[in-house]
């Protein structure tokens, strides 16, 4: 159980929960469809590098 001072993002990362569905929908609306797969791959690599 995380301590009271752990961030929500830390708890989500430990639980394996990524970007929320609402955030993903906003991203899909803002990015051209042909660029979305590459952007998602970049975000996945950044997340893995940041979270260790």
pLDDT tens, position by position, 2-45: 455 555 555 555 555 566 778 778 877 888 888 888 888 888 88
CB 51 within 8 A of CB 19: no
3 is a domain residue: no
Domains identified in the chain, total number: 1
12 is a domain residue: yes
Q: Is the pLDDT of residue 1 over 50?
A: no
CB 39 within 8 A of CB 31: yes
CB 10 within 8 A of CB 2: yes
pTM: 0.44
* Of the candidates 20, 13, 19, 23, the residue with the CA atom closest to the CA atom of residue 51: 13
Q: Given this model, what pLDDT does residue 5 score?
A: 54
2 is a domain residue: no
21 is a domain residue: yes
Domain of 42 in residue numbering reads as 8-51
Q: Structure tokens of 2?
A: 């995380």
1 is a domain residue: no
């Amino acid at each position: 159980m995380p301590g009271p001072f752990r961030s929500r993002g830390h708890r989500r990362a430990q639980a394996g929960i990524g970007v929320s569905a609402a955030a993903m929908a906003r991203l899909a609306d803002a990015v051209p469809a042909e660029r979305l797969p590459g952007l998602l791959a970049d975000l996945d690599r950044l997340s893995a590098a940041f979270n260790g």
